[in-house]
Amino acid sequence: MTRIAIVGVAGRMGRTLVKAVQQDDGATLAGGIVEPGSTLAGADIGELAGVGRLGVAAVESLEAIVDDFDVLIDFTAPRVTLANLAFCAEHGKRMVIGTTGLADEELATLEGYSERLPFVFAPNMSVGVNLTLKLLETAAKALGDEGYDIEVIEAHHRHKVDAPSGTALKMGEVMADALERPLKEYGVYERVGQCGPRSDKEIGFATVRAGDIVGEHTVMFATEGERIEITHKASSRMTFAKGAVRAARWVAGQGNGRYAMQDVLGLE
């Protein structure tokens, strides 16, 4: 049985993760952490998630439950995730990280933990998106140098704080690698005013934020006379949460290293 703690347990993903762990026969809920000072400290995490009382109270620090869990699932914010990595490395824990929006320096810091603990880091834990990444690699190799323009369009709920989404950036990265076009050079994130015509090799990103959209990503390959669109639409956060629990069970048996969902799912 993998003992899982969830940080950010009162958040949108945190509450969904409680349900997903509850439904998994190979995992048990060992704790939930809320932001220090939160009025929800002490609340039952099952009640927070709407699945009824579980007898596990939300705590304000990892120290409070350090002996109770094996794997920490973290869908919070970059600075919180990095602090949790330091704690988990020090205390022999493992992590599954879904947090997006890390800046380059934060990604470098995260990478530095690869030799200190086993962790899975993925901007999207759904099976569908991770399969889509493979389809995009194939499509980019076939079409990218044949005159097809590549555009990534993503849509999310009005509360999302980072843009483009981590998934959109990952999709861009996969295609950029396949085409040997570094995103730093070829990624275009904004077009406004007299921005001029599109260049042949750029990879464009467009962002929509509205209402309660769970997460939608379309990659368009467009040329004179036709266009191909590859779309993934998440209609429930449970798809991410189930992936995260699967990753937690998987990483419990791994040695130190940074892993992707492709490793968990055997898609590499």
Ligand X SMILES: O=C(O)C1=N[C@H](C(=O)O)C[C@H](O)C1
Beta bridge partners of 219: 152, 230
| 194: Cα within 13 Å, side-chain hemisphere | 0
164 belongs to the binding site for ligand NDP (CB under 6 A): no
The interface region with ligand NDP, picked from 45-53, 120-128, 181-189, 245-253 by CB under 6 A, is 120-128
Close Cβ partners of 140 (under 8 Å, ≥ 6 residues apart)? 150, 174, 175, 178, 179, 221
- For the bound state, the minimum distance from the C-beta of residue 10 to ligand NDP, rounded and expressed in Å, comes to 4
- For the bound state, the minimum distance from the C-beta of residue 179 to ligand NDP, rounded and expressed in Å, comes to 25
The encoded tokens of residue 46 equal 């099952």
Phi/psi of residue 203, nearest 5 degrees: -115, 110
Q: Which residue has the tokens 């989404």?
A: 165
- For the bound state, the minimum distance from the C-beta of residue 115 to ligand X, rounded and expressed in Å, comes to 27
- Could you confirm whether 160 is annotated as catalytic? yes
Identify which of residues 64 and 230 has a Cβ nearer to ligand NDP in the complex.
64
Residue 204 binds which entry of ligand X, ligand NDP, none, with Cβ cut-offs from 5 to 8 Å by kind? none
Return residues touching ligand X (CB under 6 A): 100, 123-124, 156, 160, 165-167, 215
DSSP letters along 165-182, please?
Answer: -HHHHHHHHHHHHHHT--
132 belongs to the binding site for ligand NDP (CB under 6 A): no
**Helical (H) or strand (E) element with 18:** helix 12-22
Active site residues: 156, 160
- Residue numbers at the binding site for ligand NDP (CB under 6 A): 7-8, 10-14, 33-35, 38, 75-77, 80, 98-101, 122-125, 166, 240
